[in-house]
Amino acid sequence: MDQVNCMYSPHVLVVTAGTTVDITSSDPVAHNVHSHATKNEAPNWQIPGPGKALPLKLEKREAIKFTCDIHNWMTGYIFVTDNDYYAVTGYKDKEGKWISSDAYEGSSDTGAYMIKDVPAGKYRVQAWHEELGTTKASVIEVADSGEVEISFTSADFKKK
């Protein structure tokens, strides 16, 4: 996860438990990485300038908010999951490059997603939105030969 133009990039990152994420800054100004983790290590590091990567091992499933105590508008999120079946929408441009959450209106992303190669079985599915919160978990069943369609609307979210 990088700090670019006084923003976390990507704004939302999903990793599986056990992953080490390098936290870095490409900005020529000092930043602070303040993790609000409750189940994983919750560092509060200062990054004085570009070029230094600080490794952060994420062992347990949780949604972690990151802020910068120097620049109070900076927020980013890392979701630590138990598996590789997830999707992030909303923050890529037409070329597939990460964009700022402030530039979302200019994104070609429609919010549609596809999660491929999910083995047959029953699963709990949830969606998260920075402003709307998290949906209740929906239980779906994936058949051996089929695909499942699930949609979320703003009414599905538990308000923060």
Quote the CATH superfamily of domain 2-106. Cupredoxins -  blue copper proteins (2.60.40.420)
Dihedral (CA of 103, 25, 65, 59) sign: positive
The tokens describing 6, both together, are 């006084």
Q: Looking at the chain, which residues constitute the CATH 2.60.40.420 domain(s)?
A: 2-106
Residue type, 159: K
Residue type, 3: Q
- How far is 141 from 121, CA to CA, in rounded Å? 6
Name the β-bridge partners of 50: none
- How far is 47 from 27, CA to CA, in rounded Å? 10
pLDDT at 98: 65
pLDDT in single tens digits along all 160 residues of the chain: 999 999 998 889 999 999 999 999 999 999 999 999 999 999 999 998 898 899 999 999 999 999 999 999 999 999 999 999 998 887 666 676 666 656 655 566 677 788 888 899 999 999 988 888 899 888 999 998 778 888 888 888 876 5
